[in-house]
């Protein structure tokens, strides 16, 4: 069996949560990433000097640029200026001077001869490739060269007055995940700047059936945070060929702290992508929406050709015992976040996005690859900017790492991370069915034995005396120290959409019954404690035609189909009302584990395939005294027992009315018959 085939199947066995997409993309590059040229002879990275100053990269004082680059093993470092962002020959070269902490320094003249720059190291008498520095903040076409541009000079009108929308506490966060292109590319989106940052600035856009689209859709939906898939400069799209209209999720980072050029109206001019990104942020803020960036600090697309290995070979990546790149990401390499200068780069990059671009939150891709100390440092750095900036990530890896699990930011260690959250795959797979075994249904489709996994998510992965943790699908102990550390979701960009999963896992089921399953899934997420997460478009039964791996498929697969919103407007309206209900009632977003333990009580003697609980005594200061929440995942009507009393029914299946759909008087000892595949929410004011 060829080596690449062996690598594929070993990784396939390890990736149970999601990274098949990126691994398939990178399969052809893994061999080059593992070349012997990447090996070093017993390097002791702990002996490398470190630099603690705040001025790595290109900085500007009085309009004059200074470049400082960390390259402790280099014998020489040359700075080359070019007239253009790609092609041509250098217009001038400078020998950088060795400085403190393993850095090299050069102060450019007041009016440099070129507009773009690269550096080239000599290491072991070998001349390395020309690359931008790792701290580059502005680039030319395809990120080949850095730009001699102060990003502060590319601010849009009114940027100095931009403010983050108010966020009282993290428990109020409601996340909506989105790929930037998906929002606007549909021919009937009504959006002019299709696939661009500016597409997310347009208001008043309408689609088929006069439905709201784009930014108006996000605002009307009621989410608080727009989570964008990676928008930093990634390597899989050729910015010089916009006519190809290629698509990619963007999990192939090239430069950590530069906006992606293919989303700008002009990828050649370095200022345009910066200015338009900021215009997007300001438009979101003006519409009371916060922005979360999906950041990928766990790997790079190509290790041995990028800035890291061309300036400090081996240092930025973890290695196996034989000197090759380790691969906990299933993408060919993994970033060595535990090394001081790598940690410094990550922390300062995240802080830069928050400070320069006013970003309000960060979702860390494969956060479990990063070490705990780095994530703590990120939290501290962001707190110095704004304490309300939200951080969450995937609390797992896609393979084995040389860093012990006890030192990594995985779910099991979340209680050692203050105010950082992780995705709860227990609820996800409990509700809809196993993410990898696509034909396997979940609780919402009548699959037995998943009640405790769903209840685990309902209490936001915290400690609760009524849970039997040994029956939970994955974690056998609670991992969240507070409810806001748990992200509750049933679908994201990875794998099939929720609708496509329900279709493949429930063959032969009518559309009406599939919709009931979908609404039950959504109701469970938005009435659970913790932080809810919605893949935008799932609110109108988004489909990708059954694809479970759309990372590079064309827009006609990935784009939000606004005609589908018009077709299923009643489903969208249900989700909108469900989110509004959550925002109006603090009982569904209790702030501490202790409050959940005090106010959330699971009902005893519930039949198999059902879950019931009550939130009592004005939980969280809610105006409703008692809320009874009932879920029937069975595909048949089921009798359940609830406390006797008179209730107002505010949610039943696909109907929501906070003022009450009807009154219900329940006598002691008389069961309540719940319809198949449905939720009920009963309240006593």
Quick check: helix, strand or coil at residue 512? helix
- Report the distance separating Cα 146 and Cα 141, nearest Å: 9
Q: What is the C-alpha separation between 232 and 259, in angstroms, rounded?
A: 4
User: Which class for 599: exposed (0-12), middle (13-18), buried (19 or more C-beta within 10 A)?
Assistant: buried
DSSP state of 73: T
How far apart CA 170 and CA 591 sit, in angstroms, is: 9
Identify the active-site residue in 276, 394, 495, 500. Answer: 394
Of 133, 260, 365, 429, the catalytic one is: 365
Q: Are 415 and 479 in contact (CB under 8 A)?
A: yes
Distance CA 202, CA 217 (A): 11
User: What would the DSSP string read from start to end of 251-298?
Assistant: -SBS-TTSB-GGGSS-SSSHHHHHHHHHHHHHHHHHTT-EEEEEE--S
Length of the chain: 685
Active-site residue, 365 included: yes
67 close to 34: Cβ distance less than 8 angstroms: no
Sign of the dihedral defined by the CA atoms of residues 232, 68, 303, 361, in that order:
negative
SS3 632: strand
Asked whether the beta carbons of 682 and 544 are under 8 A apart, the reply is: no
Candidates 349, 277, 301; CA nearest to 133 is 349
Cα first-last separation, the chain: 67
Annotation marks residue 561 as catalytic: no
C-alpha gyration radius of the chain: 26
Cα–Cα–Cα angle for 115, 119, 122, rounded to 5 degrees: 155
Q: Largest Cα–Cα distance of the chain, in whole Å?
A: 89
Dihedrals phi, psi of 655, to nearest 5 degrees: -110, 140
Spatial contact of 369 and 397, defined as CB atoms under 8 Å apart = yes
| Closest to 268 measured CA to CA, from 143, 357, 153 | 143
For 325-361, letters b (16+ CB in 10 Å) and e give bbbbbbbbbbbbbbbebbbbbbbbbbbbbbebbbbbb
H or E element: which one contains 580? helix 569-584
What's 515's DSSP letter? H
Q: How far apart are CA 177 and CA 230, in angstroms?
A: 11
Residue 230 contacts residue 251 (beta carbons within 8 Å): yes
Catalogue the active-site residues.
365, 394
């Amino acid at each position: 069996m060829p080596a690449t085939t062996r690598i594929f199947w070993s990784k396939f066995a390890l990736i149970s949560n999601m990274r098949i997409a990126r691994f398939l993309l990178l399969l052809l590059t893994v061999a080059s990433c593992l070349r012997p040229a990447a090996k070093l002879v017993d390097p002791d990275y702990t002996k490398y000097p470190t630099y603690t100053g705040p001025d790595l990269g290109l900085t500007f004082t009085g309009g004059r640029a200074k470049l400082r680059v960390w390259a402790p093993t280099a014998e020489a470092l040359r700075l080359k200026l070019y007239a253009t962002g790609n092609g041509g020959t250098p217009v001038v070269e400078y020998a950088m001077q060795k400085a403190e902490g393993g850095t090299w320094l050069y102060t450019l003249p007041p009016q440099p001869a070129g507009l773009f720059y690269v550096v080239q190291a000599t290491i072991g008498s070998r001349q390395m490739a020309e690359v931008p520095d790792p701290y580059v903040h502005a680039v030319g076409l395809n990120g080949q060269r850095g730009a001699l541009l102060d990003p502060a000079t590319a601010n849009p009108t009114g940027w100095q007055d931009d403010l983050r929308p108010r966020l009282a506490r993290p428990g109020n966060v409601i996340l909506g995940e989105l790929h930037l292109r998906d929002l606007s590319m549909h021919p009937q989106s009504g959006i002019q700047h299709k696939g661009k940052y500016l597409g997310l600035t347009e208001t008043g856009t309408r689609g088929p059936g006069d439905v709201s689209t784009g930014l108006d859709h996000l605002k009307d939906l009621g989410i608080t945070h727009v989570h964008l898939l990676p928008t930093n400069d990634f390597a899989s799209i050729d910015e010089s060929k916009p006519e190809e209209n290629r698509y990619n999720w963007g999990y192939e980072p090239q430069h950590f702290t530069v906006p992606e050029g293919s989303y700008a109206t002009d990828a050649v001019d370095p200022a345009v992508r910066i200015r338009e990104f900021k215009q997007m942020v300001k438009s979101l803020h003006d519409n009371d929406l916060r922005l979360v960036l999906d950041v990928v600090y766990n790997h790079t697309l190509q290790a041995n050709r990028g800035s890291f290995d061309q300036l400090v070979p081996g240092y930025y990546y973890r290695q196996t015992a034989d000197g090759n790149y380790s691969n906990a990401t299933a993408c060919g390499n993994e970033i060595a976040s535990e090394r001081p200068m790598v940690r410094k780069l990550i922390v300062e990059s995240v802080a830069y996005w928050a400070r320069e671009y006013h970003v309000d939150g960060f979702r860390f891709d494969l956060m479990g690859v990063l070490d705990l100390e780095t994530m703590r440092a990120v939290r501290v750095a962001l707190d110095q900017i704004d304490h309300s900036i939200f951080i969450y990530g995937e609390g797992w890896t896609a393979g084995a790492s040389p860093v012990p699990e006890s030192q990594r930011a995985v779910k099991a260690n979340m209680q050692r991370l203050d105010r950082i959250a992780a995705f709860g795959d227990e609820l996800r797979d409990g509700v809809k069915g196993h993410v990898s075994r696509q034909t396997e249904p979940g609780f919402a489709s009548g699959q037995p034995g998943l009640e405790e996994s769903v209840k685990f998510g309902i209490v936001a992965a915290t400690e609760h005396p009524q849970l039997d943790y040994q029956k939970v699908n994955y974690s056998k102990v609670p991992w969240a120290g507070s409810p806001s550390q748990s992200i509750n979701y049933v679908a994201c960009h990875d794998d099939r959409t929720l609708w496509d999963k329900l279709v493949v896992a429930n063959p032969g089921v009518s559309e009406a019954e599939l919709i009931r399953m979908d609404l039950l899934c959504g109701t469970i997420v938005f009435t659970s404690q913790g932080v809810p997460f919605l893949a935008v478009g799932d609110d109108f039964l988004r489909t990708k035609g059954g694809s479970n791996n759309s990372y590079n498929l064309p827009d006609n697969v990935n784009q939000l189909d606004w005609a589908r919103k018009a077709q299923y407007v009643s489903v969208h309206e249900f989700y909108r009302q469900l989110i509004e209900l959550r925002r109006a009632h603090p009982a569904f977003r209790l702030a501490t584990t202790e409050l959940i333990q005090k106010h959330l009580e699971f009902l005893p003697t519930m039949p198999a395939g059902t879950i019931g609980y009550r939130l009592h005594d004005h939980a969280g200061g809610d105006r409703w005294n008692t809320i009874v929440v009932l879920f029937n995942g069975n595909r048949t009507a089921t009798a359940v027992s609830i406390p006797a009393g008179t209730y107002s029914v505010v949610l039943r299946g696909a109907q929501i009315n906070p003022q009450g759909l009807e009154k219900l008087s329940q006598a002691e000892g008389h069961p309540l018959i719940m319809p198949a595949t449905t939720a009920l929410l009963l309240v006593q004011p």
